[in-house]
Chains A and B, each alone.
Chain A
Amino acid sequence: DVKVTQSSRYLVKRTGEKVFLECVQDMDHENMFWYRQDPGLGLRLIYFSYDVKMKEKGDIPEGYSVSREKKERFSLILESASTNQTSMYLCASSPSPTKNIQYFGAGTRLSVL
């Protein structure tokens, strides 16, 4: 089975802190994605990556950056956390060329106080 592991299930941070959310997949997938999930808004794409050291902006990239130094790992970075970034963050991966069937991690619930 494909496994997508997010390093933390719950995280509490202070406004202004730099926050790292880590995601690792074990199926050698080329494509990786970061979403945030908010009530009434569904999932919104923040960033995605189709290859190592490659990144593309999704629909809501403001306030976020990403890093993909190794194929299996995709990190989401909040340079200076703000309260409006309190949310559930979901990581996903998919094999090329099938970007539409994605495998999701269990999510990290981030609270920014």
Chain B
Amino acid sequence: AQSVAQPEDQVNVAEGNPLTVKCTYSVSGNPYLFWYVQYPNRGLQFLLKYITGDNLVKGSYGFEAEFNKSQTSFHLKKPSALVSDSALYFCAVRPGGGGADGLTFGKGTHLIIQP
């Protein structure tokens, strides 16, 4: 069975600084990896995904993530944080190349951007 670990419950970053939200995964075979963001009292919104190809994936709102197969990681990054980036971020995985399509999510990381 697959699993996702987000080791930090909360990440605090000053506005304008770079941010990183960490994610590591475990899955059989090649992974399909996703990042979603959740604002208070809202459903999740898709940010970006890695399926195959270039290890650096660019997504919405200036976010990007780097797939590292050897470290089984898919950290979310942004060069310059905005206060509006404050939200709950989820990393998710599913096995690639067939099989169940439902995503396995991490516990989530609260990102707080301080003005």
Chain B associates with chain A: no
